[in-house]
A and B are shown apart, each in its own frame.
Chain A
Amino acid sequence: MKKDHAALADKFNQDEPRVDWHDETLWWIRQKRDKAAFGIPEWEELRETASRIKFNVLSNLSQYLEQFEKAALDNGVQVHWAADGEEHNRIVHSILQKHGVDRLVKSKSMLTEECHLNEYLQEHGVEVIDTDLGERIVQLAKEPPSHIVLPCIHWKKEEIGELFHQHLGTPKGNADPQYLTNAARLHLREKFLTRKLAITGVNFAVAETGEMVVCTNEGNADMGAHLADVHIACMGIEKIIPQRKHLGVFLRLLARSATGQPITTYSSHFKKPRKGQEMHIVLVDNGRSRQLGRPEFRNSLKCIRCGACFNTCPVYRRSGGHSYHNAVAGPIGAILAPNLDMKKNADLPFASTLCGSCSNVCPVKIDIHDQLYKWRQVLVKDGYVSSAKAASMKAMAATLSNPALFKIAGKLGRWTIKHAPFVVNNGLNPWFKNREMPEPPKESFREWYQKNRSGTPQPSAGREPQYKEPSKSKIPH
């Protein structure tokens, strides 16, 4: 069986200084996000507007998709539809074959990660060069990205220096980010200049105009697309927004939420292919229409992939992206992944304390932590948790529903801690591994209350509940 989040996180935590470093790096980005957000007095209203635009999109998606398709076709762009990741990969490959292309450059696209496009193309003899620096680093290391915006946030510069030494021939021991970035610049410039086909992701696709917007800081999407004879843009069907002017709202929120920048360096609006170029758009469902049909989870499709929920999540910061074993990690990944594969990802909604910080930073106001709670209910009901856990929960429910049983259990519990520490206070109890148990008191509160306040009248628990209006005069306001 594959390791679950808890096991992978446990492994990540073997190196505590590294966990501290990972946590602090991401917290620093959260702070930059705060600073940027607090610079916009209308921030909360902007979030609300973005959220409501996205709700409108989800409620009218079929029409927007058709509108977008028509506009894109009118713009001279070829539009493809893929029901799942497999079909997406086949479509991309067929375009390559049509052009006799077996090597290409690709800028960041979480969708292609989700569909495992790189693996598919490699199996078919196609060389894919990821051109985002962070993605190139993890690609050289044969790893998936650990963060949707900061793909190699888990890598230290010394390790990158060593990686580049091996693959790009930089001097051993040189770990200067400036130097290494320049080495990557030279290495990738050669790829941009020689590859005939470029794949990009899509941040926003405008139904009204058929254009799509791609945001990068490095300029790698543009270098790829403007130099290639063929540009393929791959997008999930939820990336649609109704009108061009809505970009004003989303571009104000995206980079500020992601990294604290006022906007990404490049916000490129691709509408028509340049003269002599071919432009394709692949619209991918891959479970999105199914998620749309789940009222309690559909609003996860509002996500604009800014990664703010990753950076704020105390669990993500201390467990690393790979512990989520899904293309999209972090809190948003934990509510998207069960839709893709409930069995494989049943652990992810439990990898949270439900602290709620993710929902508060989300620029489109997805109720992430509430959805984590709701996924837990679904996963339990559908039988994706262990039978041992289910049995212990049933026993707990039985005890807690019965006051007499509860009193006995409580006494036993305290007695156990006080008199038989070996029973609980051993390495098998995960609490005790790194934490002390509470000191058991002599008596419970209810025992004390019984002794000292026996005169207080008790509510009449015996009869059927009657609805009683609270005495209005005493309620404030």
Chain B
Amino acid sequence: MTVGLFIPCYVDQFYPQVAKATLSLLEKLGVNVVFPMNQTCCGQPMANSGFEHLTHGCNSLFIKNFKDFDYIVCPSGSCTLHVKDHLHDEEHEEIAKAIRGKVYELTEFLTDVLKVEKLDAKFPYKVGMHQSCHGQRGLKLSQMTELVAPPFSKPEKLLRMVEGVEIIQLSRKDECCGFGGTFCVAEEAVSVKMGKDRVEDHVSNGAQVITGADMSCLMHMEGILRRQKSPVKVMHIAEILNGDIESLN
């Protein structure tokens, strides 16, 4: 099985350690991984701003880069969802359709395709799990509090395989952090307030680390934590599952 590693543009630029952890984790699980060097961005920043009609270039580039893989795996629910919902190409619609069907967010790839049951990792900290909206409500990585249905969570299932992890309970289990792409600058006041409230829920419930399957939400919360000079850290779930960080210091 060959997996194309799809790394969100801002992760490539600002959080290379997350991409490295994703690569390393998949390789440890015996997957052949290739990172296509010419990938850029899925086009979501334009599309969510109302400019989906400008994403044709991103789409055809994405198709060129990822068409030949068995699976495409991405450490971001949001970017995965965008490709699943909006990747189209008039000239190559069949290929686009196939890609939409084989793109996976990292944690769902681990639980649903690789069917991972155990991990060799240790992380003796209190962890707050941030349910990113697009992963949760879009990809259905975990049950949503609004729906009358039994609970489940793919990312939490994986976190529980890591030795020492203690998942804290939040008072609002799946409230949005307020990042929202360009929303974070266009609606600065509300975005910041949402971020502060989300961080506060984690901190007041004892989280030492806030984790999640989407670095964009974590980047937003990190920006607030650092402004508050909080000792609480954010860490992508791949970094914890990969087990390469055993100490926060």
Q: List residues of A whose CB falls within 8 A of some B CB.
A: 5-6, 9-10, 12-13, 16, 19, 23, 27, 34, 37-38, 40-41, 43-44, 312, 314-315, 318-319, 350-357, 359-361, 373, 376-377, 379-381, 385, 389-390, 393-394, 396-403, 406, 410, 413-414, 429-431, 433-441, 443-446, 448-450, 453, 456-461, 465-471, 474-476
Contacts and interface: CB of A to CB of B under 8 A. Distances in A.
Contacts of B98: 467-470
B116 interface: no
B133 A353 contact: yes
Nearest to B86: A373
A13 B147 CA distance: 30
B227 A434 contact: yes
14 contacts: A354-B48, A355-B137, A355-B176, A357-B146, A376-B49, A396-B45, A400-B40, A403-B40, A403-B61, A406-B40, A410-B12, A431-B185, A468-B68, A476-B113
A16 B197 CA distance: 11
A470 B68 CA distance: 8
B35 A456 contact: yes
B123 interface: no
A419 to B, nearest CB: 15
A5 B188 CA distance: 11
Contacts of B41: 400, 406
Given A389-B49, A434-B188, A353 B68 contact: no
Contacts of B55: 397
Residue among A353, A401, A441, A449 with most chain B CB within 10 A: A353
Interface in B65-97: 65-71, 92, 94-95
Contacts of B70: 470-471, 474
Interface of B: 1, 4, 7, 9, 11-17, 19-20, 34-41, 43, 45-58, 60-61, 63-71, 92, 94-95, 98, 102, 112-113, 115, 133-134, 137-138, 144-149, 172, 174-176, 178-181, 183-197, 219-220, 222-224, 226-227
Given A44-B147, A393-B51, A474-B1, A351 B187 contact: yes
Contacts of B223: 431, 435-438
Which 3 pairs between the two chains have the least Cβ-Cβ distance? A401-B57, A353-B180, A435-B223
Residue among A319, A355, A453 with most chain B CB within 10 A: A355
A289 B153 CA distance: 42
Contacts of B185: 429-431
B49 A465 contact: no
B52 A446 contact: no
B40 A314 contact: no
Residue among B16, B66, B220 with most chain A CB within 10 A: B16
A355 to B, nearest CB: 4
Given A353-B183, A376-B50, A385-B50, A458 B14 contact: no
A350 B186 contact: yes
Label chain B's interface by main secondary structure.
helix
A357 B227 CA distance: 28
B190 A9 contact: yes
Contact of A379 (B39, B50, B102, B146): B50
A221 B152 CA distance: 44
Given A448-B20, A461-B36, A314 B175 contact: yes
A398 B67 CA distance: 22
A476 B4 contact: no
A337 B126 CA distance: 44
Contacts of A27: 172
Contacts of B14: 414, 438-441
Nearest to A404: B38
Contacts of B133: 353-357
